[in-house]
Structure 1
Amino acid sequence: MRKSPLFFAAAVLLASLSAHAQNTGNIRYKWHDGQGLMHFSDSLTAEAMKYGYDLVNDRGLVVQHVPRQLTPEERIAANKLAAEQAAKQRAAQEIASAEAQMLAAYPDEASYKLSLQQQLDTIDQQIHTTQINLRSQEKALTDLLGRAADLENAKTPVPKFLVDSIAQQRTIVTEQRNALQHEQALRTQTVQLQAKQLARYREIKAAQAQPTE
């Protein structure tokens, strides 16, 4: 029959306590119950494990404290807290690693500022391209609307293909305008982010420049 992990954990705990007892003399178990009353026992009881207990040697000194068993809800909360702490530690390590790589790639402020400017230049080039495309699409829409207006002025019905072309062109123009707004917003956000990045770069460099005791 396959034994559960709890069985092995209990076996390990009992073996540890047995070894500890051999090294420290006679061991008794002391604990407080749910009403706060103190108990002593020569053997480990379920109640002691429930509330947590102290191992007391033959001189009455506490040689080890074993915390109480956690409830399933408490174990879930403890595991969640441990996972959150581990995630924070990983994030801090990743930031430290990224900052170390940044300092290695840009040993002085001038080189770092140049890299930041290159990022902005890339966004500016994309904005310029979008603006050119938008003007071209707006002109195409204007031409289509002009053709439709000429037909209407001539009392000639506007053909369906022209109506459909105007609707399609309006959609293209709207998409281009939205893209331009997004790129401009991205540039603004990038400028704000770069200001913080540059301040952090200067802070790290200043810390490096301080003499170590």
Structure 2
Amino acid sequence: MSERRQQGEDDGATNDVAGCGCSIVLLAIGYFIAARFGNDPANTGKSAIALGGGFCLFLGLMVGRQTWAERRERRRTWVASVMEQRTGVITWRDAELLAVQHMRALGFLDARHTGPGSDGGIDAIATGAVAQVKMHSKPVGRPDIQRLVGAADGGQPVILMFYSFSGFTSTAHTYADERSILLFSFDRAGTVRALNGAATRALRSV
């Protein structure tokens, strides 16, 4: 795990603890107030206090929900060390090198760029894995993923990965899920996000 990734995990864990703690405190306060003052609806003063307790309960639930959502997003996200590259991910070549870097982070240490004209539709390859990268303005469709499957059909089982700048269509998602193909999106800052279950499980091992 890279130093930058480790720092992000540490910061995220700290935020999780703080968020969960705040949520629990708010829920406890809200429950206590609602139970203590909510049993006499005819008393306007007590009703107002009970309403404040209900608000604390609501706020506690919202804090807990936000903490959980942020935790899920972190587990779906990997950030490359592109800060040294002032231009970030601009060209298709940058995108393919980002995919190679990401594959290595996933444990495919011998991942390499295949080079133009020699890949048969595969942009990055490693022992046990191949990847296709698209930096198009439109979502990748099912036919592109099918072509990746055809290009990788060499008799040996490999993990298939697809990286897209603009995401994937719903039919592409369905086909990828049926084939256990890892779908990722990326942006110009070098952030890679898992877009299906297979990809999320892979990112959790980084």
TM-score, normalised on structure 2? Answer: 0.30
Task: Indicate the structure (1 or 2) with the bigger Cα radius of gyration.
Answer: 1
Greater strand share, 1 or 2?
2
TM-score, normalised on structure 1? Answer: 0.29
